[in-house]
Amino acid sequence: NQPGGKPLACKVSNQQKIEQSILYSADPAMFNNAQKPYFDQIAALAKLVRFGGDCYSYGLLASGHIDLVVEADLKNYDVMALVPVVESAGGLISDWNGNSSFDDEWDGCLVATASPELHKQALGLLKTA
């Protein structure tokens, strides 16, 4: 809270480069054999990689403490409540192809980022998955 009891709005970081980003994911085992090389490629570029945050990772992203979340093997009910949290803080969230529809046809792969430039970089590495 700000002085006077006014709540502070969440805001994502302004990180623009994967090489300077903090990456979170719930579990490295969530990626199948076809997806893992793409995650590993991003993880190798990131400044710091952490696991185990689950939905907390998206709160960290929305509040500017981390810059990037990459996950797979999710269901639409896992992310529907997280979309407005990330987007209202200025972040972007999509599947690995850049689509933001998490309907029943969604493949369960997700990337959430702090900036459009970071999102573009991540998608460039993930789109071929």
Residue-level pLDDT, tens digit, the chain, 129 residues: 667 777 888 999 999 999 999 999 999 999 999 999 999 999 999 999 999 989 999 999 999 999 999 999 999 999 999 999 999 999 999 999 999 989 888 999 999 999 999 999 999 999 765
pTM for this structure? 0.92
Pick the CATH number of 18-126 from 3.40.190.80, 3.30.565.10, 3.30.43.10, 3.40.50.300: 3.40.190.80
67 belongs to an annotated ligand binding site: no
Output the six-digit token pair for 54.
């689950």
List b or e across 70-108, with b for residues whose CB sees 16 or more CB atoms inside 10 angstroms: bbbbbeeebbeebbebbeebbbbbbbbeeeeebeeebeb
